[in-house]
């Protein structure tokens, strides 16, 4: 139990917004043997702020054991999961909290934050609006709604005004207004962001603001300044997440990709051609390439065809991944597996597809730009699957990845310098090329530039390869994207009619010059002019 004097002191500190003092008092009380959900919740918050998610989860677990139906603590557990990047688990916690206390606005606010991380702006908007309806004085709810509306191209001013009337310094509302001004008045957007950057704002907000400033400067063709803003955002992103990745035992993702390539290279190519998997399902397509190469666009094009279901960037191969890709000897074991093992991992894959709400009996497109890392698994477990590889000018891809403020992943951490993006890109291209040479894969290359130049011819060829009946419905991919929702960074592009985004790298040729020796072999190999 917690004595009344300590509880009063902590609650007074919280009421005075002296969070640090409240946490110090809570930690001291726990050290003295007290046990109370509030104490564990406070020390969990401190651990979460320090990036020590294991300690945060432990403390919150203790709190939930003492108060299993406390919506505040359950919401805190979801928040820690969100900050750790475990979005599905976080959403489940927020839903659980809302079910316990339907009138509690905070789980809906946190749910909006989580959906923002997942790039699901439409669902985030709904969650923020629900939070604002439950608590109209909650400025972050109005601000989050304004930000989601800006990404969806919907009116922003009224929502942002509601937030700023409550908190005139709300960074999210200010950025929402700036984002809505990008198309009509980018100079005003840049000025608004610069004013905000001159104030005291959180690190995550500063990263987002610097990225948005880069976008505004890009619109007025101030490319050198825009690149500097992107670089500042990436540097801050790297510093923020460095402790998390320093604590991991596995190698950086680029090294991980190189290790897979070395292991594939060590296996006798003939071993891969001994078929062990059962006959594959008709209409099974893997769509991959690289982030910002056009995979989301093509996913929604194919999903516009009758009878086609698509799944966006889900870890459908995670069971086989853990077994064969993370173990140094795993690739050799993968090449030598028997039919029963192949069938077992195939069944787990299809169960994960079904668990994601997709009927695997339909024509199924598994889209993930980084599933090139999984090509050994695809070749071994699904030899009858069709593999579509998106191609785009490597300079446009690398520049776009550098400019994008991704949610934190191993790949996003590799994208914190322009050199890091280029080296990661080259590593995945080497692995993809090696797998195509050595493994039995049915592959179709699709160039983004061809798609935007001659949509019908390019998509007809794609449909012939995948076994999908071509239809004029494919031209309505933007409606499909709006209906399905898009959770990748390409949501803004695929929610509008086709446009040509190629050649953007030319305005940043000077900034890309340092990585040209890395990219030049791939530019030439893929048929682009140097």
For residue range 59-71, what is the model confidence (pLDDT) as tens digits? Answer: 888 888 888 999 9
In Å, how far from its chain's centre is CA 353? 19
* All structural domains of the chain with their residue ranges: 1-104, 253-271+281-494+501-525
Q: In what order do the strands lie in the sheet with 386-391?
A: 308-312, 363-367, 284-288, 386-391, 442-447
Q: What pLDDT is stored for residue 463 in this prediction?
A: 96
Q: What pLDDT is stored for residue 493 in this prediction?
A: 52
Q: What pLDDT is stored for residue 507 in this prediction?
A: 97
- Alpha carbon distance 131, 108 (integer Å): 5
3-state secondary structure 122-149: HHHHHHHHHHHHHCCCCHHHHHHHHHHH
Q: What pLDDT is stored for residue 497 in this prediction?
A: 61
| Spatial contact of 109 and 138, defined as CB atoms under 8 Å apart | yes
* H-state helical runs in 167-304: 171-181, 186-197, 203-219, 223-246, 253-266, 269-272, 295-303
Interior angle at CA 46, CA 202 and CA 147, nearest 5: 35
CATH 1.25.40.10, domain 1-104, yes or no: yes
Q: What pLDDT is stored for residue 486 in this prediction?
A: 52
- Alpha carbon distance 309, 251 (integer Å): 35
Task: Report the topology of domain 253-271+281-494+501-525.
Answer: Rossmann fold (3.40.50)
- Alpha carbon distance 407, 86 (integer Å): 11
Q: What pLDDT is stored for residue 485 in this prediction?
A: 54
- Which parts of the chain have pLDDT scores under 70? 481, 483-497
């Amino acid at each position: 139990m917690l004595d009344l004097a300590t509880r009063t002191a902590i609650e007074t500190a919280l009421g005075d917004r002296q969070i640090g003092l409240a946490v110090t008092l809570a930690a001291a009380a726990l050290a003295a043997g007290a046990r109370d959900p509030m104490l564990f919740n406070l020390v969990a918050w401190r651990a979460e702020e320090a990036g020590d998610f294991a300690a945060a989860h432990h403390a919150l677990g203790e709190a939930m054991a003492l108060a299993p139906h406390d919506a505040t603590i359950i919401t805190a557990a979801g928040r820690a999961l969100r900050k750790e990047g475990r979005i599905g688990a976080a959403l489940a916690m927020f839903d659980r909290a809302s079910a316990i206390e339907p009138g509690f606005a905070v789980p809906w606010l946190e749910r909006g934050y989580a959906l923002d991380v997942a790039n699901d702006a439409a669902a985030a908007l709904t969650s923020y609006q629900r939070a604002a309806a439950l608590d109209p004085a909650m400025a972050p709810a109005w601000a989050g709604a304004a930000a989601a509306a800006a990404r969806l191209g919907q009116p922003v001013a009224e929502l942002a005004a509601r937030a700023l009337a409550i908190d005139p310094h709300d960074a999210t509302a200010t950025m929402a207004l700036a984002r809505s001004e990008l198309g009509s008045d980018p100079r005003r957007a840049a000025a608004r962001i610069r004013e905000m950057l001159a104030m005291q704002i959180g690190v995550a907000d500063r990263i987002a603001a610097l990225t948005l400033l880069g976008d505004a400067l890009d619109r007025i063709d101030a490319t050198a300044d825009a690149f500097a803003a992107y670089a500042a955002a990436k540097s801050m992103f790297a510093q923020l997440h460095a402790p998390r990745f320093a604590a991991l035992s596995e190698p950086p993702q680029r090294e991980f990709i190189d290790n897979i390539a070395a292991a594939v290279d060590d296996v006798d190519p003939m071993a891969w051609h001994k078929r062990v998997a059962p006959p594959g399902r008709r209409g099974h397509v893997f769509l991959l390439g690289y982030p910002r190469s056009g995979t989301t666009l093509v996913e929604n094009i194919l999903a516009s065809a009758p009878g086609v279901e698509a799944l966006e960037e889900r870890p459908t191969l995670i069971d086989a991944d853990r077994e064969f890709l993370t173990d140094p000897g795993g690739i050799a074991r993968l090449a030598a597996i028997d039919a029963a093992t192949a069938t077992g991992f195939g069944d787990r894959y299809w169960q994960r597809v079904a668990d994601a709400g997709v009927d695997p009996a339909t024509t199924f497109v598994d889209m993930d730009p980084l599933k090139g890392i999984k090509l050994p698994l695809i070749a071994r477990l699904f030899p009858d699957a069709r593999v579509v590889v998106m191609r785009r000018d490597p300079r446009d891809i690398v520049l776009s990845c550098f400019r994008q403020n991704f949610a934190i992943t191993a790949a996003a951490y590799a994208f914190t310098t322009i050199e890091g993006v280029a080296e990661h890109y080259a590593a995945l291209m080497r692995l993809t090329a090696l797998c195509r040479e050595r493994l039995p894969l049915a592959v179709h290359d699709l160039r983004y530039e061809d798609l935007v130049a001659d949509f019908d011819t390019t998509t007809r060829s794609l449909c012939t390869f995948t076994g999908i009946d071509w239809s004029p419905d494919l031209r309505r991919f933007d409606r499909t994207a709006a209906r399905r929702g898009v959770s990748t960074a390409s949501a803004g592009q695929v929610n509008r009619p086709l446009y040509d985004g190629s050649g953007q790298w030319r305005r940043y040729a000077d900034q890309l010059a340092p990585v040209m020796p890395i990219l030049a072999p791939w530019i030439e190999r893929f048929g682009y002019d140097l």
